[in-house]
């Protein structure tokens, strides 16, 4: 892993350790931090994750203003808006690390697991996207959420020329991660 990405990942995991142990420092969470950043940002990582109200990157990584560039939509399904947001983080803000983070008890994974293989009436884009990795044998929805991070990583690189180029040039790394609701721990999936 490139040095800058490794450093960013260590910072995130140290912050998560604080959170898990109820020792969060809550640095950079006051209005003074926001004011000091009024002319620009330099986040350490881009977190691509679900809109779920229980998944709050700044809290689970013990971070504050200006530290994380967070891209969210339900299920963190990779669509055009998500892709372009990640491109902005990598190409313009120069983040060295993109984390694709999924989580326990995800509503989109649950819905997809329950409906498969029926054509969904609602949430069509989201559920059809998850269908790509489900088969009738597929395990529980938490397992789907975990496996789906690999699809997301591949899609980021396959569908974006900017990301593919930057990745091959060693400008950033993508890591897959999973938030466990029993402990609050973020586990890196290798």
For 100, phi and psi rounded to 5 degrees? -95, 110
Print the binding letters for residues 3-42 with Zn ion: x by CB under 5 A, - otherwise: ----------------------------------------
Asked if 112 touches Zn ion (CB under 5 A), the answer is no
Q: Which is nearer to Zn ion, 52 or 173 (CB)?
A: 52
Distance between CA atoms of residues 132 and 120, nearest Å: 14
Nearest approach in angstroms of CB 133 to Zn ion is 15
Distance between CA atoms of residues 144 and 130, nearest Å: 8
Contacting residue, 50, 77, 111, 144, with Zn ion by CB under 5 A: 50
- Which span sits near Zn ion by CB under 5 A: 13-21, 33-41, 51-59, 121-129? 51-59
Q: Which is nearer to Zn ion, 44 or 106 (CB)?
A: 106
Q: Which tokens go with 169?
A: 């040039």
β-bridge mates for residue 174, sequence order = 98
Q: Which is nearer to Zn ion, 8 or 50 (CB)?
A: 50
Neighbours of 3 (CB within 10 A): 9
Residue that has been written with the tokens 């609050």 in this structure: 184
3-class secondary structure, 68:
strand
Task: Give the distance, in angstroms, between the CA of residue 147 and the centroid of all CA atoms in the same chain.
Answer: 14
Q: Which is nearer to Zn ion, 50 or 99 (CB)?
A: 50
Nearest approach in angstroms of CB 115 to Zn ion is 16
Beta-carbon contacts of 110 under 8 Å, excluding residues fewer than 6 positions away, are 141
Asked if 70 touches Zn ion (CB under 5 A), the answer is no
- Which span sits near Zn ion by CB under 5 A: 1-9, 102-110, 151-159, 182-190? 102-110
For 45, phi and psi rounded to 5 degrees? -160, 160
Q: Which is nearer to Zn ion, 41 or 51 (CB)?
A: 51
Asked if 106 touches Zn ion (CB under 5 A), the answer is yes
Enumerate binding residues for Zn ion (CB under 5 A): 50, 52, 106
């Amino acid at each position: 892993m490139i040095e800058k990405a490794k450093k960013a990942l260590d910072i995130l995991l140290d912050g998560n350790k604080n959170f898990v142990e109820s020792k969060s420092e809550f640095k950079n969470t006051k209005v003074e931090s926001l004011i000091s950043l009024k002319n620009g940002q330099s986040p350490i990582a881009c977190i691509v994750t679900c809109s779920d109200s229980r998944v709050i990157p700044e809290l689970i990584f013990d971070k504050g203003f200006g530290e994380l560039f967070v891209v969210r939509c339900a299920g963190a399904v990779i669509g055009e808006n998500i892709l372009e947001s990640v491109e902005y983080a990598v190409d313009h803000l120069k983040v060295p690390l993109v984390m694709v983070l999924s989580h326990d008890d995800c509503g989109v994974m649950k819905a997809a697991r329950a409906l498969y293989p029926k054509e969904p009436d609602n949430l069509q884009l989201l559920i059809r996207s998850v269908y790509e990795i489900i088969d009738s044998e597929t395990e529980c929805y938490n397992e789907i959420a975990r496996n789906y991070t690999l699809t997301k990583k591949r899609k980021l690189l396959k569908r974006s020329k900017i990301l593919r180029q930057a990745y091959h040039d060693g400008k950033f790394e993508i890591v897959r991660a999973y938030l466990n609701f029993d402990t609050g721990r973020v586990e890196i999936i290798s």
